[in-house]
Amino acid sequence: MDISLSAIGVIHSPFTEPSQAPIQASRSTALGSVEIFPQFVEGVRDLEEFSHIFLLYLIDCPQGYSLKVKPFLDDQEHGIFATRYPCRPNPIGLSVVHLLRVKGNRLEVEGVDMLDDTPLLDIKPYVPEFDVRENAKVGWYGRRAYQ
Amino acid sequence: MDISLSAIGVIHSPFTEPSQAPIQASRSTALGSVEIFPQFVEGVRDLEEFSHIFLLYLIDCPQGYSLKVKPFLDDQEHGIFATRYPCRPNPIGLSVVHLLRVKGNRLEVEGVDMLDDTPLLDIKPYVPEFDVRENAKVGWYGRRAYQ
């Protein structure tokens, strides 16, 4: 089954090459902005009262993907779905960023880890009651080679 | 820009009608299973050591979407991107579920909130260091009409 989606906006960040990008949004203090295409602006009403938001976006992977990868923070291979490696069968990125302010169709955010001009697929408010799990076990990540 | 994705598997749950589904995965104790299509099974290696995983999936919205919606837990309209309402411009669902065990190409999980036979787009391991933010402000959700 083929699934067809369209970008609702574009994410601007200081990073133009993958080598510049932080490994995760949680490790980034970089400022960026999220430009919402005009026909979707009505959808951001009341978003400014949330301090953190999920961005879902399309990752550019011209080389395709492998099902086994060596993640940035380990020296062992793992199945792609046991990692957050960006290039995957459906290369959808997921980052929680800090929402600083909303100005018209532009969201100013802190903590970006994606490349400049990344196509935005969705925004969801981050709600700890929905999104936080206590005592999570993190498998190989707990024994990773690099910090 | 049109973006083309393909399902990597299918999620099985006890829910066949939207009215039966829990409002969020965090409020669900329902058991379900995630069937990975054979060509992607290699990608779940080492996943079993994680206790919680993100499922990204396609939500069936034959009626399309509205940019302003009244969410299940409030009596006021909000912009769609300030809610977790399922039908949205790109109807990608995001749920954290508890991974109980992996049996071949089948993941047994607890805490499903999606409908039976939902197309699976991606699995990511849940890692608190990446995914938890402290002191998040939750806007209208903090003043919502219903619990």
| Rounded mean pLDDT, B139-144 | 95
Quote ipTM for the complex.
0.96
Would the pLDDT of A67 be above 70? yes
Q: If DSSP codes are grouped into helix, strand and coil, which group holds residue A106?
A: strand
Residues of chain B found within 8 Å of residue A129, distances taken between Cβ atoms: 24, 26, 138, 141
| Rounded mean pLDDT, A13-28 | 94
Asked whether the beta carbons of A79 and B42 are under 8 A apart, the reply is yes
Residues of chain A found within 8 Å of residue B52, distances taken between Cβ atoms: 133, 136-137
Q: What's the gap in Å between the CA of A66 and the closest CA on chain B?
A: 8
Question: Which residues have a Cβ under 8 Å from the Cβ of B37 and sit 6 or more positions away?
Answer: B7, B8, B9, B10, B105
Residues of chain A found within 8 Å of residue B106, distances taken between Cβ atoms: none
Per residue in B15-35, pLDDT tens?
A: 999 999 999 999 999 999 999
Residues of chain A found within 8 Å of residue B122, distances taken between Cβ atoms: 81, 88-90, 92
Q: Given this model, what pLDDT does residue A41 score?
A: 98
- Give the count of Cβ contacts less than 8 A between chain A and B: 236
Token pair 């009409």 is at which residue? B145
Q: Given this model, what pLDDT does residue B34 score?
A: 98
Instruction: Using alpha carbons, list the distances in angstroms from residue A75 to A47, A147, B52.
Output: 40, 12, 23
Task: Indicate the residue of A49, A129, A132 with minimum beta-carbon distance to B132.
Answer: A132
B129 exposed, middle or buried (CB, 10 Å; 0-12, 13-18, 19+)?
A: exposed
Phi, psi of A103 (to 5 degrees): -125, 100
| Rounded mean pLDDT, A65-87 | 96
H or E stretch at B55: strand B52-58
Give the Cα separation of A133 and A109 in Å (integer).
24
Q: Given this model, what pLDDT does residue A2 score?
A: 73
- Nearest Cα neighbor of A98 from A35, A45, A28 is A28
Q: Given this model, what pLDDT does residue A22 score?
A: 94
Task: Indicate the residue of A1, A25, A56 with minimum beta-carbon distance to B92.
Answer: A56
Give the Cα separation of B102 and B112 in Å (integer).
16
- The number of beta carbons lying within 10 Å of the beta carbon of residue A31 is 16
- Nearest Cα neighbor of A65 from B114, B40, B10 is B40
Q: Given this model, what pLDDT does residue A3 score?
A: 83
Task: Indicate the residue of B89, B92, B129 with minimum beta-carbon distance to A40.
Answer: B89
Would the pLDDT of B54 be above 70? yes
Confidence of residue B3 (pLDDT cuts 50, 70, 90): confident
pTM above 0.90, yes or no: yes
Q: What's the gap in Å between the CA of A78 and the closest CA on chain B?
A: 6
Judged by CB atoms closer than 8 Å, whether chains meet at B3 and A129 is answered as no
Q: Given this model, what pLDDT does residue B4 score?
A: 84
Asked whether the beta carbons of B48 and B102 are under 8 A apart, the reply is yes
Confidence of residue A1 (pLDDT cuts 50, 70, 90): low
Q: Given this model, what pLDDT does residue B1 score?
A: 62
Task: Indicate the residue of B24, B122, B128 with minimum beta-carbon distance to A130.
Answer: B24
Confidence of residue A40 (pLDDT cuts 50, 70, 90): very high
